[in-house]
Amino acid sequence: MKLILLGPPGAGKGTQAKRLFDRHHLVQLSTGDMLRAEVAAGTPLGVEAKKLMEAGQLVPDAIVIGMIETRIDQPEAKDGFVLDGFPRTEAQAVALDEMLGRHKARIDGVIELAVDENALVERISGRYACAKCGAGYHDKFQKPKVAGVCDSCGGTDFTRRKDDNAETVKARLVAYRQQTAPILPYYKGKGLLHQVDGMAELDEVTKQIEQVLTKIKH
C-alpha cells in the first residue's frame, strides 16, 4: 500500500507513520530526512542538493522524485510506503504520479490529519521535556506529578525546543496552508482523499486511520 500523510507540524504525522510501519511494514519516506541523509552520505544527488541549498535555492522536484524513486526500489519498501512532506504542490503530485506509473504503481490513498489551528498552537507551544531522560510534558495537558521533578528519572532540568513557541507555530501553519491547499482538490478529484481528526487522542487517530485503510483495501 502506498500512502501520503498530510498535516501541519505537530499534527502527529511522525507518530502515526511509525505506527503504520509497526502494523503494516509501510516504510516512512520523509523527504526532509532523505535529503539530509543524501547530503551527509555525499552521494551525487546529495552533492547537487547541497550546492543548491547553500546557495539558498530550492531543491528541484526532479531531485526529490529521484530520491523517492531510489527508495521505493529497495527491499524495505516492498510492502509499501508512507510519504511525509511530499508532494506539496500540484506539479509535484503530477510528477509523483508519473514516476510511480513508470513502476506500474500508484498512490492508494491520501490521509489528511485535520486540526484546529488554535488548539494546535496551544498543544505545541506548551511542550517541554526532561533534559536528562527526554520524557515529554506539557504546561497544561501533562504536568509532572511533582512540580519541577521528572516522573521518569527524578531530574529537575527541563528544556523547550526553540521553535515550539506560538509565533513560530503560527508561521509554520500559514506555510503549510499555502503549500498544501493546492493539492487537496487534486487528490479529492481522484477520490483518494480521506480526512481523520488529528486533534483526537493518539489511539483514536490510529483507529480512524485503520478504518481508512480498510476502506482502501476494499
Cite the annotated binding site by residue number: 10-15, 31, 36, 57-59, 85-88, 92, 127, 130, 133, 150, 153, 161, 172, 200
CA neighbor of 161 nearest in space, from 197, 187, 125, 121: 125
String of DSSP letters for 78-131: TT-EEEES---SHHHHHHHHHHHHHTT----EEEEEE--HHHHHHHHHTEEEET
Sheet of 109-114, strands arranged across: 27-30, 81-84, 2-6, 109-114, 193-197
Pairing of strands 81-84, 2-6: parallel
Q: Which of 50, 132, 170, 172 is catalytic?
A: 172
Which helix (DSSP H) or strand (DSSP E) does residue 176 occupy? helix 166-180
Q: Which of 18, 161, 177, 190 is catalytic?
A: 161
Q: Which of 2, 19, 88, 123 is catalytic?
A: 88
User: Binding site for Zn(2+): which residues?
Assistant: 130, 133, 150, 153
String of DSSP letters for 135-171: -EEETTTB--SBTTB-TTT----EE--TT-SHHHHHH
User: Binding site for ATP: which residues?
Assistant: 10-15, 127, 200
User: Binding site for AMP: which residues?
Assistant: 31, 36, 57-59, 85-88, 92, 161, 172
Catalytic residue list contains 23: no
Catalytic residue list contains 71: no
Q: Which of 2, 13, 19, 123 is catalytic?
A: 13
Q: Which of 127, 132, 170, 188 is catalytic?
A: 127
Catalytic residue list contains 13: yes
User: Which residues are marked as active site?
Assistant: 13, 88, 127, 161, 172
